[in-house]
Amino acid sequence: MAEVGELGKVQVRSAVQPDAKPMIELRKVNKWFGALHVLRDVSLTVRERERVVVCGPSGSGKSTMIRCINRLETHQEGQIIVDGIELTDDLRNIDAIRREVGMVFQSFNLFPHLTILENCTLAPIWVRKMPKKEAEELAMEFLTRVRIPEQAKKYPGQLSGGQQQRVAIARALCMRPKIMLFDEPTSALDPEMIKEVLDVMVELAESGMTMVVVTHEMGFARTVADRVVFMDRGEVVEVGPPKEFFGNPRSERLRTFLSQILGH
Amino acid sequence: MTPPSAEAATLGAAPAIERRPPSFALGPIAWLRANLFSSWLSTAVTLLLAYFLVSWTLSFLNWAVVNAIWDVPGTGQQVDTSACRAARGEGACWALIGEKYRFILFGLYPFDEQWRPALVVVIFVALYVISAMRRFWRKELALIWLAALTAIGVLMWGGVFGLPYVEQERWGGLVITLILATFGIAFAFPLSILVALGRRQTSMPAVKALCVVYIELIRGVPLISLLFMASVMFPLFLPEGMNIDKLLRAQIAIILFAAAYLAEVVRGGLQAIPKGQYEAADALGLTYWQKTGLIILPQALKISIPPLVNTFIGMFKDTSLVLIIGIYDLLNTAKTSIIEPAWQGFGVEAYLFVAAIYFVFCFAMSKYSQDLERELDKGRRR
């Protein structure tokens, strides 16, 4: 696998088949917070096994966009189709989509009153109706994959931020989702912990997971992204493979953004 | 060359040795000096308060133990309380309790059947103890409650298994207090959770409005007025010949009253749960009731333990207000026990006796809640 020290130098091979079906489709999505127009005609298609990194200045609507995909936010105009199901007010559709879409948050959002193992087994047991023993074996498998099986009996409050975020990834994976959404997964972490989380995400990318990642980690974008999306003021300004995106930005806004974020 | 400074000398040397704190910072003497005798003013205050404390304790012991009268000649109507009267102000008349404790504890319940309410009190206490232990917190607990409550009903009313029937008007004393408090809490608490959840339903305005109106209406009136309504007004609305007994009506008033207060306490706990917890539960595909029952309530109720227990304790004591509608709870039987001419004027003894009983129950609740908080916190601190 690619060492994070070399993030951006080694490219994880794309896993997208040429005829891959679209997993997420946003068609002219619009959203307002009160009178504030936060998503403006956002259109984006993510195909099976594709890895899309979304970046942009704060307030650009990237988090809102990703949160619309599993209906943590509702859009007001346009269409969002996930795994062939259109997101409407129909609760059955929302539940069906949430079962297939895993999400990792900036602030981890582990359940503090449950152990690490219980955090991971809760949804498989209650939502997937999996027997407890089977759910625990599955959870241990994923906790091993994120390299913290020895913490299974502890509570979230006893773990470091990086460990908590890896548990959050394992918790989402225990639902065996088809798509993983990451909403700034490393923004709340101390610098020395960012690497351990990115390592896990790179591994996940190598396994062929369909991923949408909102992040400021440009090294990660270079390493794993099939395409990078730049959003600004609620619109998708530019989309392209990392080489072109970073090497040859077409819009002035992206050039300014890249010089700010990479310049220091 | 400049001589090495003290700072430079320590840098890079062996790591600093771990030392014990200086002796003046440790031990009971140090604690006394720091907290009680740190200056001449604090020394003076300490000595003054110590003097009051000791002299008050001694005079109380004199009254309550040394000069107390434990027994008087005669019983019932022929009792001779002149010894007690002679000692008024000097010594307590505990003979009152010896004579009247059966009445204070069990009211007008037939004397020969008073083992039944006594057993009920034991069942109640056993029920509290079992419910307090976390290893019994599972579905079977509901069955235990059901069995216990059935047993309590059978024992109190009788009329089956060869137990003579005792009408509800003759129940009294500690049993009434425990019935009102236990059923009050057992029904008000779940109701309050539903009301608190309902009040947060922004997507269901009708439900929310109903909960707000309920809370504000009930909180806006004194418990006494609710009890009056239950006792005097409510029967007027019932069809001819139908009658719900007075105790049940008071019980319902207490449940509704307590639930309104508890709902606001629970709502406070719900508001303390970060939005991210709801979102994480949603993102995993949990339903509303799974999210509420598995993620939100366990955390919200844990935060709410201190104010919840505060309200429970308040409620336990508020049951004594039923005396104004003529129900003989523990406080009312104590008040009634000193109504005979022979015992008039010995209110302090009677009230101290029931105060001690109230205190035992309330203090147990308080202590238990502290232990529970500590246990739920174990290993979960950051």
Instruction: Please give the DSSP secondary-structure letter assigned to residue B220.
Output: T
The rounded percent of chain A whose pLDDT value lies above 90 is 70
* Cβ proximity of A212 and A141 under 8 Å: no
This model of the complex carries an ipTM of: 0.90
Query: For the segment B192-215, what is each residue's pLDDT rounded down to a tens digit?
Result: 999 999 998 888 888 999 999 999
Q: What whole-number distance in Å separates Cα of residue A193 and Cα of residue A171?
A: 19
Mean pLDDT value across residues B165-180: 85
Q: In this complex, is the C-beta atom of B298 within 8 Å of any C-beta atom belonging to chain A? A: yes
Predicted local confidence at residue B141, as pLDDT: 84
* Cβ proximity of A201 and A193 under 8 Å: no
Q: In this complex, is the C-beta atom of A164 within 8 Å of any C-beta atom belonging to chain B? A: no
Query: For the segment B285-332, what is each residue's pLDDT rounded down to a tens digit?
Result: 999 999 999 999 999 998 898 899 899 999 888 888 888 888 888 888
Distances (CA, A) of A262 to A190, A192, A212, A246, A257: 19, 19, 22, 10, 8
At CA A212, angle to CA A209 and CA A213, rounded to 5?
115
Higher pLDDT, A11 or B257: B257
Q: In this complex, is the C-beta atom of B373 within 8 Å of any C-beta atom belonging to chain A? A: no
Higher pLDDT, B8 or A83: A83
Mean pLDDT value across residues B243-249: 79
Predicted local confidence at residue A3, as pLDDT: 43
Q: If residue A31 lies in a helix (H) or strand (E), which one and from where to where?
A: strand A22-33
In which band, very low, low, confident or very high, does the pLDDT at A2 lie, cut at 50, 70 and 90? very low
Of A80-94, A200-214, B334-348, B357-371, where does mean pLDDT reach its minimum?
B334-348
Distances (CA, A) of B201 to B14, B195, B208, B270, B288: 63, 10, 6, 12, 11
- Cβ contacts (< 8 Å) between A111 and chain B: which residues? 277, 280-281, 295, 299
Distances (CA, A) of B361 to A211, A237, B207, B358: 58, 68, 36, 5
In which band, very low, low, confident or very high, does the pLDDT at B143 lie, cut at 50, 70 and 90? confident
Which numeric CATH code is attached to B183-327? 1.10.3720.10
Strands of the sheet with A227-232, listed across from one edge: A101-104, A179-183, A210-214, A51-55, A227-232, A235-240
Mean pLDDT value across residues B139-166: 83
Higher pLDDT, B33 or B276: B276
Tell me the two tokens of residue A229: 């999306």
SS3 of residue A219 by DSSP: helix
Neighbouring C-alpha atoms within 13 Å toward the C-beta of B177: 29
Mean pLDDT value across residues A108-120: 93
* Tokens 């057993």 -> residue: B119
Q: In this complex, is the C-beta atom of B283 within 8 Å of any C-beta atom belonging to chain A? A: yes
Q: Give me the residue from B280, B286, B290 closest to A105, CB to CB.
A: B280
Tell which of A122, A151, A178, A180 to mutate to test the B interface (max B CBs under 10 Å).
A122
Most confident of A17-26, B103-112, B152-161: A17-26
Predicted local confidence at residue B131, as pLDDT: 85
A:2-21 residues touching chain B, CB 8 A cutoff: none
At CA A24, angle to CA A21 and CA A28, rounded to 5?
120
Predicted local confidence at residue B242, as pLDDT: 66
Q: What whole-number distance in Å separates Cα of residue B94 and Cα of residue B358?
A: 18
Letter string b/e over residues B26-46, b meaning 16 or more CB atoms within 10 A of that residue's CB: eeeeeeeeeeeeeeeeeeeee
- Cβ contacts (< 8 Å) between B382 and chain A: which residues? 157-158
Predicted local confidence at residue B15, as pLDDT: 74
Q: What whole-number distance in Å separates Cα of residue A39 and Cα of residue A21?
A: 25
Is the Cα torsion angle A108, A109, A111, A117 positive or negative in sign?
negative
Closest CA to B286 of A125, A116, A174: A125
Mean pLDDT value across residues A41-56: 93
Mean pLDDT value across residues B27-45: 84
Please say if the pLDDT value at position A262 is more than 80: no
Predicted local confidence at residue B5, as pLDDT: 56
Burial of A163 from C-beta contacts in 10 A (0-12 / 13-18 / 19+): buried
* Cα end-to-end span (Å), chain A: 28
Higher pLDDT, B43 or B72: B43
Please say if the pLDDT value at position B218 is more than 50: yes
